Amino acid sequence: MRTIGIVGCGYWGPNLVRNFSSLSGCEVKIICDSDPHRLKSMASLYPNIEQTTDYTELIEDKSIDAIAIATPVRFHFEMGMQSLLAGKHTFIEKPMVRNVREGLILINTAQSRNLTLMVGHTFIYSPAVEKIKQIIESKEIGNIQYIAARRLNLGLFQKDINVAWDLAPHDLSIINYLLSECPISVNCQGKAHIVKDIEDITNIVLNYPNGRFATIQSSWLDPNKVRDMTIVGSKKMLVYNDLEPMEKIKIYDKRVEIPPHYNTFAEFHYSYHYGDMYAPYIKQYEPLKLECQHFLECIETGEEPESSGIEALKVVQILEAASQSIKDNGARVILKSLEHFASRVN
């Protein structure tokens, strides 16, 4: 039986409490939040779980094996370090930290103490994303040419991070997972319309060494809630709409073909192929529950989580580069190689 403490009972923390509480082999002993009113609300739902406004109680409680952190990102590094230094396995919601340097320190600390460090990139545990990865690896849609992701809604406005840091981690983690490849450079443009210097709409472009690219549009200032991703392959095209209750994935047998041989311009004609569309069956289950279960399993086995500190560091690196690009009016920012970071955390 693993005992866990959870800090942060705002937007996402209650979901962690619900899922960890539902798992066998896990006991949520205590929840923490700086707001007593939130704790009172949680107490009505979970009367057997202790509540506190003092995070040090979780740190000093030797019966607690692990801590899950679901606070604003500005607290992630300090709380994560306190947890790891106290010898506790640590789960941190996305984004892991505010910059690459903080991420490296957390990773080093976890490795040196043989502790599990995992980050809440929930979408890579979803059955839809797992199905897309299987489709890509099967080469059914051919070679990936580009990916276009949109994550739009009206609010919720953050005070300490811009919309890219708030929403884009979902799409970045999905794209990294699907492609198993990191971009070589980032361009980003953004505008702050509501709060000064906090962009509420951003457009990120990821450039890859083989010439393909991905775009991510994020917005807190859109009338409609949009959660979709288009993946264009050389054979077929795939659309992933997370807001669809059942048919989240649709595969379109559409493509453009260039004639292999021609001698004159008159002989040159593009061939547009229009085939059927189908929606593959996807088994439905809650990704967050699987993510929480995976955290417990990694603690037991010592295996590296799918959303490990290293994987989360890749997302933070891209976000940090995007922020720099915004400051430089959309200029290209070159990303350092993964080997550069790996050599600093081993």
pLDDT tens per residue across span 67-93: 999 999 999 999 999 999 999 999 999
Q: Average of pLDDT values for 224-248? A: 96
302 and 158 together in one domain:
no
Q: What is the pLDDT of residue 34?
A: 96
Q: Which two tokens stand for residue 298?
A: 């990694």
CATH of the domain at 219: 3.30.360.10
Is residue 329 assigned to a domain?
no
State whether 98 and 185 are in the same domain. no
Say what the pLDDT of residue 85 is: 98
In a domain, 240, yes or no: yes
321 domain residue, yes or no: no
Question: Looking at the domain assignment, is residue 312 inside a domain?
Answer: no
Whether 164 has a pLDDT exceeding 90, the answer reads yes
Q: Coil, strand or helix: which one is 93?
A: strand
**pLDDT for res 264:** 58
Structural domain boundaries, residue 193: 124-278
Residues 77 and 139 in one domain: no
Q: Are residues 19 and 111 in the same domain?
A: yes
> Following CA atoms 329, 315, 219, 73 in sequence, which dihedral angle do they give, to the nearest 10 degrees?
-100
Residue 258 lies in a domain: yes
Instruction: Classify residue 338: in a domain, yes or no.
Output: no
My answer on whether 90 and 229 are in the same domain is: no
Number of domains in the chain: 2
User: Rounded distance, CA 78 to CA 219, Å?
Assistant: 28
**Dihedral of the CA atoms 129, 130, 134, 139 (nearest 10)?**
20
Helices 309-327 and 163-179: crossing angle in degrees, nearest 10, is 130
165 closest CA partner among 221, 92, 97, 87: 97
Together in a domain, 128 and 274: yes
First and final C-alpha spacing in the chain: 31
Residue finishing a domain among 232, 259, 278: 278
Does 63 map to a domain?
A: yes
Q: Are 132 and 43 part of one and the same domain? A: no
Q: What is the CATH number of the domain that holds 37?
A: 3.40.50.720
> pLDDT tens digit string along 183-208?
999 999 999 999 999 999 999 999 99
| 18 and 154 together in one domain | no
Domain match, 34 and 73 both: yes
CB 294 within 8 A of CB 305: yes
The reply to whether the predicted model has a pTM over 0.85 is yes
On the question of pLDDT at 29 being above 60, the answer is yes
pLDDT for residue 209? 87
For residue 227, give the nearest of 212, 217, 235 by alpha carbon: 217
CA distances from residue 136 to 129, 142, 205, 335 in whole angstroms, order as listed? 11, 7, 21, 25
Three-state DSSP at 70 gives: coil
Residues 112 and 132 both lie in one domain: no
Q: What is the mean pLDDT of the chain?
A: 93
Bridge-based pairing of strands 26-32 and 2-7 is parallel
Q: Does one domain contain both 69 and 86? A: yes
Structure tokens at 301: 């086995």
Q: Give Dmax (Cα) for the chain.
A: 79
What pLDDT shows up at residue 261? 60
Reported confidence tier of residue 339, pLDDT bands at 50, 70, 90: low
166 Cβ contact list (under 8 Å, min separation 6): 158, 218, 220
pLDDT of residue 234: 94
In-domain check, residue 298: yes
Shared domain for 268 and 295, answered yes or no, is no
With the CA atoms of 285, 290, 291 and 293 taken in that order, what torsion angle do they form, in degrees rounded to the nearest 10? 160
- Strands 89-93 and 117-120, sheet pairing: parallel
Q: What amino acid occupies position 58?
A: L
